[in-house]
A and B are shown apart, each in its own frame.
Chain A
Amino acid sequence: MNLEDRELDALLRDVPVPPGLHDELKQIPDEFEPVRLHTSSIGSWQLVAAIAIAASLIGIACWLVWPEMKPGKLEIAQQNVVEHPPAQVGNEIDWLSEQIAELAWELESREQLAKLSELRQAESMGAVALQKPAERDALTMYLSSEAASTWGAGNDFVEAEMQQIIERYPDTAGASRAQEFLKQSTEL
């Protein structure tokens, strides 16, 4: 049998969309709000690292832009960034801590202990990272680069950032994650 082009296209499009998908998606704005930070105005890596780690734990996007980056490299992230003075950053951390506590409670109530353990492990990793400057900076840079990748930064840029983490902060958790990221990107 010979398939015509239009028959092939019709076959491809024949996918039943789940009922209720639109309604479910439309609830997203009621449940999630973006968190935007500008690190150059904060001037504290420790706070930024804490927020980045907390944000990644609860699965929200955290826009990070730091002074070492050349203008334009992260143009998507830099648009419409709200600058938080340090006092407000403290509030953000409080808010994020509440979210984590809430999430942990939900996980426990659902008896998803494996996830809870993963969460706690990541939390302690964050705590360790904050005590060691190289660990802290490597992890922050990794999380930011991963976020940049999600937001549409080019592969070349993200890969160069990952490479820089490996070279600048060898033997850190951030470098291992960067290495893993590059390995998997190559495999894909």
Chain B
Amino acid sequence: MTRDDQLHRLFELAVDENADAMFRVAWRLTGEREWATELVQETYLQAWQGLESLRDRSRLQSWMFGILHRQYLKQLRRKTRLKFSIFDESSAAEQPAASGEKDVVDRREQVQLAIEQLSDDHRLPILLVSMEGVSVDEAAEILGWPRGTVLSRLHRGRQRLKELLERQIDITN
């Protein structure tokens, strides 16, 4: 197998194993389907162009989360951030409001609204550690924070997110 073949295979693996997780984190960060897709595409483009520089292939996922995080910050600098509902017109069109699905859609929207109320400092460790199962040490490396900071922000963020969601669910009920 040539070097190029190996790189192509590694890239396919990166898509198969990590693309869903990348999209979930991107969506939770941006709150917008189109932007999340763009962020994931840009992350994979950067990953492809730098794949040869990845020394330890067992760290593929955390390396990619690192790129996603930096791309997010970069795009955030360039965009005027607009708040969109989790389901914009295009995604609503793809998912017609069947009566049984409405509750699911409402619940997703509630979760996204609660996440958007958190600062990035609290949101990022929740998305990486709680949502995607990245270890605290890896999250510390991806975010460039000390381990203790990740832990304390994770704890405080989760508490705050729970409070927000419990309040919303109580109101809905």
Contacts and interface: CB of A to CB of B under 8 A. Distances in A.
B166 to A, nearest CB: 5
A172 B8 CA distance: 41
Q: How many A residues are at the interface, by size bracket?
A: 35 or more
A110 B119 CA distance: 38
Given A29-B48, A61-B49, A155-B144, A12 B28 contact: yes
B23 A61 contact: no
Contacts, number: 115
Interface in B41-82: 41, 44-46, 48-50, 52-53, 55, 63, 66-67, 70-71, 73-74, 76-77
Contacts of A188: 73, 76-77, 120
B30 to A, nearest CB: 11
A131 interface: no
A29 B50 CA distance: 12
Interface string B77-110: 1000000000000000001000000001001100
5 closest cross-chain pairs (CB), A and B: A34-B49, A184-B77, A12-B131, A15-B24, A80-B52
Given A8-B165, A29-B8, A188-B77, 10 more contacts: A13-B24, A16-B95, A17-B20, A25-B15, A25-B41, A32-B45, A34-B48, A152-B63, A152-B70, A188-B120
Interface of A: 1-3, 5, 8-9, 11-18, 21-22, 24-26, 28-29, 32-34, 60-61, 76-77, 79-80, 149-152, 154-155, 181, 184-185, 188
Interface of B: 7-8, 11-12, 15-16, 19-20, 23-24, 27-28, 33, 37, 40-41, 44-46, 48-50, 52-53, 55, 63, 66-67, 70-71, 73-74, 76-77, 95, 104, 107-108, 111, 115, 120, 126-127, 130-131, 144, 158, 161-162, 165-166, 169-170, 173
